[in-house]
């Protein structure tokens, strides 16, 4: 047990990221049943639909799970509406995660309902503010992570800085976690656990588009890069994605509609450069859409069910908790990962 597992009632100190177009009720419930912290993405869901999705998860698992809000995308009012709709549907063991700082009303609503508040941050200043809001757990996101980035520091540096400032805080790291060895390394460096996103994109219960899943499985770390290209719907926030024709193009193409996605029987058009990731109900030019992916993709190699993925990681983690030998990486001086399969290194032409 670590403080993260103890605080949230988990068998394994690992949270699944609440990724839009990926983390639906089936994935959340499956990860939860396997002993990790499954998380339902609320993203831009209307409150009534968000409540219905939360009920689906609650009916599918008796283990702790979370719901994730993104206040800077929805805005404070809609975020609060989502929470007011969802909180009555959550069992007592559930938790709420926020990507970035929520406003005071949202934080108070979660705490008044008796659920732990987990806040993901990317800077020391945000960590201070989140603890001031009563966060039970901080998720420290490094630049190795896939998706939208909250800061500019690698995860090990951010962890060291926040741990030195807040020695008693419950801290999880996000970025670079794909194996039980990765998780054990993070805990050895002072974390209480971790959050993983890229690891769960290809699993069977993920709602990511099949092309998205396959690209993550085939990718290595240098197939990802940080850009601000996919900004429509979520501006002013850099993001780590897989390279695609838009990223490598010399000139910017028109922001015309390139795809559609179906939600509750209705078609929604998606423009080129949208922040939307391709889900399994998306059709169109999938290869031109944002496929968020972290550098840990090098160690993500298969499309197993979530239960198999979590069981494998748990076994690796328990094996790695004994005496371990690591060697410094010549690239950044951090310990080399010692567990899990890797894909062949790919030489990139630039």
pLDDT tens profile 282-316: 999 999 999 999 999 999 998 999 999 999 999 99
Shared-domain flag, residues 222 and 135: no
Minimal CA–CA distance to 217: which of 312, 95, 299? 299
pLDDT of residue 330: 32
Neighbours of 170 (CB within 10 A): 24
Which one of 200, 223, 255 terminates a domain? Answer: 200
The verdict on residue 309 lying in a domain is no
Average the pLDDT over each of 135-139, 248-252, 342-346 and give the range with the smallest value.
342-346
The verdict on residue 306 lying in a domain is no
Q: What is the pLDDT of residues 13-48, one digit of tens each?
A: 999 999 999 999 999 999 999 999 999 999 999 999
pLDDT of residue 344: 56
Q: What is the pLDDT of residues 173-188, one digit of tens each?
A: 999 999 999 999 999 9
The verdict on residue 98 lying in a domain is yes
The verdict on residue 44 lying in a domain is yes
E strand or H helix that includes residue 222: none
Length of the chain (residues): 350
| CATH assignment of the domain containing 89 | 3.20.20.70
Shared-domain flag, residues 24 and 160: yes
Average the pLDDT over each of 23-32, 90-99, 260-269, 325-334 and give the range with the smallest value.
325-334
pLDDT of residue 1: 76
The answer on pLDDT for 348 being more than 90 is no
Neighbours of 316 (CB within 10 A): 19
- Please report which residue ranges of 146-179 form alpha helices under DSSP H: 155-165
More confident residue, 323 or 264: 264
- 231-234's contacts with Cβ under 8 Å and 24+ in sequence apart are 231/273, 231/275, 232/271, 232/273, 232/274, 232/275, 233/73, 233/274, 233/275, 233/276, 234/73, 234/148, 234/275
Which one of 138, 166, 200 terminates a domain? Answer: 200
Shared-domain flag, residues 84 and 129: yes
The answer on pLDDT for 328 being more than 50 is no
The verdict on residue 333 lying in a domain is no
Shared-domain flag, residues 84 and 119: yes
Neighbours of 348 (CB within 10 A): 10
The answer on pLDDT for 345 being more than 80 is no
The verdict on residue 335 lying in a domain is no
The verdict on residue 257 lying in a domain is yes
Structural domain total, the chain: 2
CA–CA gap between residue 336 and residue 67 (Å, rounded) = 33
pLDDT of residue 227: 98
Which one of 174, 200, 226 terminates a domain? Answer: 200
CA–CA gap between residue 51 and residue 83 (Å, rounded) = 9
The answer on pLDDT for 338 being more than 50 is no
Q: Tell me which residue range forms the domain holding 170.
A: 3-200
Mean per-residue pLDDT of the chain: 93
Assign 341 a pLDDT band (cuts: 50, 70, 90): low
Shared-domain flag, residues 17 and 157: yes
CA–CA gap between residue 15 and residue 23 (Å, rounded) = 12
């Amino acid at each position: 047990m670590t403080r993260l597992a103890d605080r949230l009632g988990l068998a394994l100190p690992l949270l699944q990221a609440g990724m839009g177009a990926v983390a639906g009720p089936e994935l959340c419930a499956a990860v939860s049943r396997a002993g990790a912290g499954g998380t339902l993405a609320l993203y831009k869901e209307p409150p009534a639909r968000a409540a219905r999705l939360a009920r689906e998860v609650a009916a599918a698992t008796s283990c702790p799970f979370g719901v994730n809000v993104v206040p800077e995308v929805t805005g404070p009012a809609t975020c609060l509406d989502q929470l007011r709709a969802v909180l009555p549907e959550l069992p007592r063991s559930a938790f709420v995660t926020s990507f970035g700082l929520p406003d005071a009303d949202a934080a108070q609503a979660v705490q008044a309902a008796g659920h732990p508040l987990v806040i993901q941050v990317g800077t020391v200043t945000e960590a201070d503010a989140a603890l001031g809001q009563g966060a039970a757990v901080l998720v420290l996101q490094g630049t190795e992570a896939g998706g939208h980035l909250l800061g500019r520091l690698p995860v090990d540096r951010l962890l060291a800085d926040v741990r030195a400032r807040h020695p008693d805080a419950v801290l999880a790291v996000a970025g670079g976690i794909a194996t039980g060895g990765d998780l054990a390394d993070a805990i050895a460096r002072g974390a209480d656990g971790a959050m993983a996103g890229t690891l769960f994109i290809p699993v069977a219960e993920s709602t990511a588009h099949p092309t998205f899943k396959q690209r993550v499985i085939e990718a290595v770390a240098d197939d990802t890069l940080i850009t601000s290209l996919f900004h429509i719907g979520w501006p002013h926030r850099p993001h780590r994605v897989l390279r695609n024709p838009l990223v490598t193009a010399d000139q910017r193409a028109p922001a015309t509609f390139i795809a559609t996605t179906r939600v509750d029987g209705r078609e929604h058009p998606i423009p080129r450069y949208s922040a939307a990731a391709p889900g399994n109900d998306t059709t169109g030019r999938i290869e031109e859409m944002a496929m968020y992916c972290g550098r840990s993709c090098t160690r993500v190699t298969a499309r197993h069910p979530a239960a198999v993925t979590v069981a494998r990681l748990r076994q690796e983690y328990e094996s790695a908790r004994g005496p371990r030998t690591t060697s410094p990486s010549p690239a950044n001086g951090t310990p080399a990962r010692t567990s899990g399969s890797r894909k062949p290194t790919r030489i990139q032409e630039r």
